[in-house]
Chains A and B, each alone.
Chain A
């Protein structure tokens, strides 16, 4: 069982927007603005999409955005494209004893 809870799957049609939630606790997501999100295509390494809750690395489309409210972080993808179909993982700092926790992953299907 993963430390952070994500929905197993979400889906959307091209052009639509979807949101993936990542629920933690007051010991991780709720206490630190250190949530990151990763995209993973089958057979490939994860790719950083969002860091520090809402910052986008250079080269990542502005269709990807992140936010946080309380113990839940969210990744929103707007203007869905076929190439967005992938697994998405959230990750949070969890303090000086646990350090780093990941979510269980969400499979995004573009219909």
Chain B
């Protein structure tokens, strides 16, 4: 079955760039679907960050757009997130998920990775 696994540094300094990768297994990214990033600050709700299609077409949360870059590497069957100029408010569990094309569902999700922004 489709599985997603996030990886990346668990600690990032303020003003630096957060970088995460989501490795996909059991399904080829090139076969379709969008692939998204969602985050959840400790004790709070979910926030969609952005999504990418295998062609490289992207769309982002308007509130984060100026700081977010999502890219895809079909040869490695993975996609990545970069969030620049981070602050403590960016501390969260970051999830990656497969997203239905034009149907707005996320399934399955990766297990999530906690990223803490602190000096």
Contacts and interface: CB of A to CB of B under 8 A. Distances in A.
A100 B95 CA distance: 15
Contacts of B51: 99-100
A102 interface: yes
Contacts of B27: none
Interface in B82-119: 95, 100, 103-112
Contacts of A101: 48
A37 to B, nearest CB: 9
B61 A99 contact: yes
B26 interface: no
Given A45-B109, A45-B111, A46-B109, A103 B45 contact: yes
B45 A51 contact: no
Interface residues of A, number: 26
Q: How large is the interface on B (under 10, 10 to 19, 20 to 34, 35 or more residues)?
A: 20 to 34
30 contacts: A2-B45, A34-B103, A34-B104, A36-B104, A36-B105, A36-B106, A38-B106, A45-B108, A45-B109, A45-B110, A45-B111, A45-B112, A46-B46, A47-B109, A51-B105, A57-B107, A91-B46, A91-B106, A92-B104, A97-B62, A99-B51, A99-B60, A100-B61, A100-B104, A101-B48, A102-B45, A102-B46, A102-B48, A105-B45, A105-B46
Interface of B: 36, 38, 45-48, 51, 59-62, 95, 100, 103-112
Given A45-B110, A48-B108, A99-B51, 7 more contacts: A36-B106, A48-B107, A51-B104, A51-B107, A89-B45, A91-B46, A91-B104
